[in-house]
Amino acid sequence: MKALQQEHARGARSRVVDRPLWQILLPLMLVGLAVQRAAVGTALFAGELGSVIVVAYVLQGLAAVAAAVGVWLGRRWTVGALLALGAMLIASALLEGFWLGVRPPLASVGEILIVTLSTGALVLVLRRELDETERA
């Protein structure tokens, strides 16, 4: 019985080690994004911008954590979580740049382009990787 447990533990360790580096680093970056958005949301809560932007930052943090968990576990719903995160980041940039006037509109347009391209690239890569993992 003990030999079976040791073999199972070795198999679990080899699955983590056999992952590509990006599948290890991407969840860490997404957790970093969640922490950054939570910090900004907390700072804005102390300001006078209102609760709408704070709720937006909380939702972005939760979506980033969900996407990080999905990437780490290799689940198919990760694509949906990444798309939701991208949509929330774009909505926040639009809200800050054009409605609240917190930042210049040109900076918001640049952020929207970057978020759109990076979300699209991640979705394409993850769809391909998760399909290959499911077939194997």
Q: Give pLDDT, residue 45.
A: 77
Q: Which has more confidence, 131 or 4?
A: 131
Tell me 9's DSSP state: H
Closest alpha carbon to 53 in 44, 62, 61 = 44
Q: What does the pLDDT look like over 58-73, one tens digit per residue?
A: 899 999 999 999 999 9
Distance CA 40, CA 126 (A): 28
**pLDDT confidence of residue 26:** 92
Out of 45-49, 53-57, 75-79, the most confident range is: 75-79
Please name which of 21, 8, 136 lies closest in space to residue 71, comparing C-alpha atoms.
21
Domain boundaries along the sequence of the chain = 21-135
Query: How far apart, in Å, do the first and last CA atoms of the chain sit?
Result: 28
Looking at residue 132, its pLDDT comes to 73
What mean pLDDT is predicted for residues 95-106?
Answer: 88
Contact 63, 85 (CB under 8 A): yes
Query: 100: closest CA among 37, 52, 59, 61?
Result: 52
Report, as an integer, the average pLDDT of 9-25: 70
pLDDT confidence bin for 43, thresholds 50/70/90:
confident
